[in-house]
């Protein structure tokens, strides 16, 4: 169990990939801090799964657009579980609006969660890692950041900045023993509503995926745990594209 004695913090952990990552970390020995913006019931369900897997769990809600809430969230997790060794920046927003209709507040909302919120969360956690002599950070991106999707210029554009941040932090924090990597999931089965438009999009994506299927949240959790673990001890500043081979095939997603 490669994370015995380690404390992890997973943002956006109330459901889907974030929940699967938190559970997998616990199965591998970690205690896990669980955070989301407002879904307390979802976070508590994730905490139950972490505890069932053998880990200790702590829940702290935080709106990542609010710097004070980020500081409080990290302090609360640290207070319950101890210094943080592993950070998984999974929280995100993906608002949809045609480019010419996007207003300044739309851009600021996406930027403040997807980039600034991730930046400030990392800044609040890194001192623990420096004091501990090292740590691991995994930042979630997503295949659509690279493939492109109509109506998401402001949301996926803000997430592209995460790749640049990942590379810069890997360079700056490497001497402190801190590794920083990205994980970019492809089309993943998260149990979303199967609308007619979504079914059309999913079929086209599957046809364009060399493995001819969608991925699972459990597969993303395993990939994330690899990056966070000592199995990836010489891996930093990289983005792992766990997407069945779709990247970098462009223009496969039609407007809905």
Phi, psi of 114 (to 5 degrees): -75, -35
- Contacts with 32 (C-beta within 8 Å, 6 or more apart), sequence order: 7, 8, 9, 10, 13, 22, 25, 26, 50, 55, 56, 57, 58, 81
Cβ–Cβ under 8 Å, residues 127 and 71? no
Are 170 and 139 contacting, i.e. CB atoms less than 8 angstroms apart? no
User: Out of 3, 115, 119, 156, which one is annotated catalytic?
Assistant: 156
In angstroms, rounded to a whole number, what is the distance separating the alpha carbons of residues 253 and 242? 18
Residue environment code for 5-26, b if the CB has 16+ CB neighbours within 10 A, otherwise e: ebbbbbbbbbbbbbbbbbbbbb
- Whose CA is closest to 121, among 81, 51, 180? 180
Q: Which two tokens stand for residue 217?
A: 């949240």
Per-residue burial over 151-174, b if 16 or more Cβ lie within 10 Å, else e, is: bbbbbbbbbebbbebbbebbeebe
Strands 188-189 vs 31-35: parallel, antiparallel or unpaired: unpaired
- For the question of residue 146 being annotated catalytic, the response is no
180 with 234: CB under 8 angstroms? no
Q: Is 182 exposed, middle or buried (0-12, 13-18, 19+ CB in 10 A)?
A: buried
* Residues annotated catalytic, as ranges: 156
């Amino acid at each position: 169990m490669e994370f015995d004695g380690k404390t992890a913090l997973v943002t956006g952990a109330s459901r889907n990939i974030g929940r699967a990552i938190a559970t997998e970390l616990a199965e591998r020995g970690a205690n896990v801090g669980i955070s989301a913006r407002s879904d307390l019931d979802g976070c508590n369900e994730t905490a139950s799964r972490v505890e069932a897997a053998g880990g200790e769990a702590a829940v702290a809600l935080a709106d990542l657009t609010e710097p004070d809430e980020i500081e409080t969230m990290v302090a609360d997790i640290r207070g319950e579980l101890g210094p943080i060794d592993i950070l998984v920046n999974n929280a995100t927003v993906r608002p949809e609006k045609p480019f010419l209709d996007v207003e300044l507040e739309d851009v600021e909302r996406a930027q403040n969660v997807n980039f600034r919120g991730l930046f400030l969360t990392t800044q609040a956690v890194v001192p623990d890692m420096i004091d501990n002599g090292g740590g691991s950070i995994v930042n979630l991106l997503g295949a659509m950041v690279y493939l492109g999707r109509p109506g998401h210029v402001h949301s996926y554009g803000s997430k592209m900045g995460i790749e640049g941040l990942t590379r810069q932090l890997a360079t700056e924090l490497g001497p402190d023993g801190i590794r920083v990597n990205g994980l970019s999931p492809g089309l993943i089965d998260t149990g979303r509503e199967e609308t007619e438009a979504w079914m059309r999009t999913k079929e086209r994506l599957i046809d364009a995926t060399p493995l001819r299927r969608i991925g699972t949240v459990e597969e993303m959790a395993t990939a994330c745990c690899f990056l966070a673990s000592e199995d990836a001890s010489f891996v930093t500043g990289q983005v792992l594209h766990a997407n069945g081979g779709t990247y970098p095939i462009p223009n496969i997603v039609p407007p809905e």
